[in-house]
Amino acid sequence: MTDLSPAMWLALFVGGLAILVLLRIPVAIALLTVSSIGAVLLYGFSPGIEMTVVSMVSGLTTFTLTAVPMFILMGELLFRSGVAFSAIGAAERGLARLPGRLAFLSVGMGAVLGVLSGSVMASTAMLAGTLAPEMERRGYSRRLATGSILGSGGLAMVLPPSTVVIVWGATAGVPVGPLLIAGVVPGVLMAVGYAVVVGAWAYFFGGAERPAVLGKARVRQGQHQTPEPSSGTAVSTEDSRGSLVNLVALVGMIVGVLALILFGIATPTEAAAVAVGLTALILLVQRRLTREVLRESIKHTLLSTGMVFLIIAGATIYGRVMAGSGTVTAFVDGITSVTGNPTLLLVIMLATVIVLGLFLEAIAIVLLTIPLFMPIVQIAGFDPLWFGILMIIAIQIGTVTPPFGMSLFVIRQYAPKSMPMSELYRAAVPFVLSDLTIVVLLVLAPSIVTALPALM
């Protein structure tokens, strides 16, 4: 309806969004506002507004997306009942001989939580809430403490289940099951990378506790004599047998859910709901499913779900209107006219995602970039699974890069009060470098990503 040049459209979409977001308008509302203005310019006033509102409804009635609140709910139940933490206590005793074991534990726990939860925010909050105060008490350098948590919290996005992977697959039209499985090996490699960073940090720069010789003996006696912090964590009240039981129950649940998918009993989306049911069952058997736990878990699931899905709704229509304006075609034509070299195209797309990660939330990046990138992926002939996982790792980096990083917002609430944001940013740098190394590795050897899904 209104003829604007591609440059003007781009200014509206990017500039308009940036201004609103900088003025502290919630990201979701900013996306909806800019899109409805775009839709009105493109399609006329009432048709444009109507399209925006209707798309909020039709965009959210998507079965695949129901896995997102299910996995968040599962994580909340495990966290609030103390089961997750208790299981992790068992793991900590196994690491007693390592220097800086809490930092290592953060990585290991990040991987375990990553398999239990689909949300980086949930995982980072759990890691920070349980480990950050304890690391501070034991005299860890605050950079190592927060850095290891920021790094390993991101594993939840790459290891299945993952909210972002599900949304990515559903939007790009790539089968979600294989895509989730494709994240396993890269996720484990990322965790190994983080462990190397932590080990090197503790070895060369110190800042971590020494190996606990007593810790092992205590486990053998099955007693608790350590003066525990007043924070009263689950570990301090739980005997090690209970911890072990919880660890076994959790591992059993993960195996059970994977088996459901492998034997074709449930689809990956349905498996999320079954996982919630199994979690509730574990809690019920242990008499941990109190009304309080249930109510708080549901409440916090709703808070995360409402927040994430309003962004999904906003980003969906934003992407559509941007596509309708011709900006997308201009972008794709622009990039592909610059180069036809697949490697260079890949680097450009990865760089775009990392730059967007400075300013945008993960789901928004997924929805914004897929219409831009998938045509290029087709032209370049990339394997969608491989490309998807590279994108997810790059998007995951965005959770710890300032000024807008969800993990940064989360850890701010748990990090030492005297620690400025700038120091938090620096703490994450070695872990980001580790991720970039993994990305290079996956680019050089795509079979690391594609081998496992191909086996299935």
Partner 1 sequence: MSTGNSARGPVGRILRALTTASAVLAGAGLVYMALATILAVVLRYVFRQPNRFLFESTEFALALTVFFALGMVALYDRHVRVDLIPRRFARTNRKVDIGARFATAAIAGTFGWFAVQLFVRDLETGIRMGSTFGLPRWILMLALTVGLVLLAANELRGALERLHATGTDAATADVTGSESTGEAKHD
Partner 2 sequence: LSPGGGAVSEDGKVTLRLATTQTRDSPENIGLWRMIERLERDAPWITIDYVGGPETIEPNDAAENVQSGALDMASVSSAYYTQILPEAEVFDLTPNDPAVDRESGALELINSWHEEVGLHVLGVTIAEMAYMLHFGSRWSEIDITEPDLTGWLMRGGPTQQPMLEALGAEVVNMPVGEIYTAMERGTIDGFAAGNSGMYDLGIAEPIKASYMAPYLTIRYPLLMNLQTWLTLDERTREALSTAMAELERSLPDIYRPVIEGEYQRWAEDGKELLEPTEGDVDRFQARARDIGWELLVARTPRAAEVRELYEVR
Q: Which stretch binds partner 1 (CB under 8 A): 3-11, 64-72, 88-96, 124-132?
A: 64-72
Using CB under 5 A as the binding rule, whether residue 124 contacts Na ion is answered as: no
- Give exposure, 207-228, as e/b (b: 16+ Cβ within 10 Å): bbbeebeebeebbeeeeeeeee
Does residue 367 contact residue 319 with C-beta atoms inside 8 Å? yes
Give the shortest CB-388-to-partner 2 separation in angstroms: 12
Q: CB of 122: closest distance to partner 2 in angstroms?
A: 24
Query: Which partner, Na ion, partner 1, partner 2, none, binds residue 176 by CB below 5 to 8 Å per kind?
Result: partner 2
**Residue 71 binding result from Na ion, partner 2, partner 1, none, given CB thresholds of 5 to 8 Å by partner type:** none
Ranges within 187-246 binding partner 1 (CB under 8 A): none
Site for partner 1, residues 286 to 305, rule: CB under 8 A: 298-299, 301-305
- Left if phi > 0, otherwise alpha if psi is -120 to 50, otherwise beta: which for 189? alpha
**The amino acid at 406:** M
Q: Is 377 in the site for partner 1 (CB under 8 A)?
A: no
Pick the closer one to partner 2 by CB: 175 or 446. Answer: 175
Residue number with CB closer to partner 1 (312 or 374)? 312
Footprint of Na ion on 140-169 (CB under 5 A):
151, 154, 156, 159, 162
Side-chain half-sphere CA neighbours of 247 within 13 A: 19
- Contact indicator for 106, 310 with CB cutoff of 8 Å: no
> CA dist 203 to 91, 99, 100, 137, 210, Å?
22, 8, 9, 20, 11
Can residue 406 be called a binding residue for partner 1 (CB under 8 A)?
yes
Residue with Cβ nearer partner 1 (108 or 405): 405
- Cα separation of 284 and 280, whole Å? 6
Report the distance separating Cα 439 and Cα 425, nearest Å: 21
116 binds, among partner 2, partner 1, Na ion, none (CB under 5 to 8 A by kind): none
Contacts of 407 (CB under 8 A, 6+ apart): 120, 121, 124, 150, 153, 154, 399, 400
Show the site string, 241-280: x = touches partner 1 by CB under 8 A, - = not.
-------------------x----xx--xx-xxx-xx---
Nearer to partner 1, 284 or 303 (CB): 303
Distance CA 161, CA 163 (A): 7
3-class DSSP state for residue 392?
A: helix
For partner 1, give the closer residue by CB, 247 or 312: 312
Asked whether the beta carbons of 118 and 71 are under 8 A apart, the reply is yes
- For residue 69, state whether it binds partner 1 (rule: CB under 8 A): yes
Shortest spacing between CB 248 and partner 2, in angstroms:
26
- CB–CB of 200/179 below 8 Å? no
Identify the residue among 15, 334, 403, 416 touching partner 1 (CB under 8 A): 403
Per CB under 8 A, does 79 bind partner 1? no
Partner touching 361 among partner 1, partner 2, Na ion, none, CB below 5 to 8 Å by kind: partner 1
User: Which residue in this structure is represented by tokens 């930092």?
Assistant: 103
Q: CB of 435: closest distance to partner 1 in angstroms?
A: 23
Residues 6+ apart with CB under 8 A from 240: 89, 90, 93, 219, 222
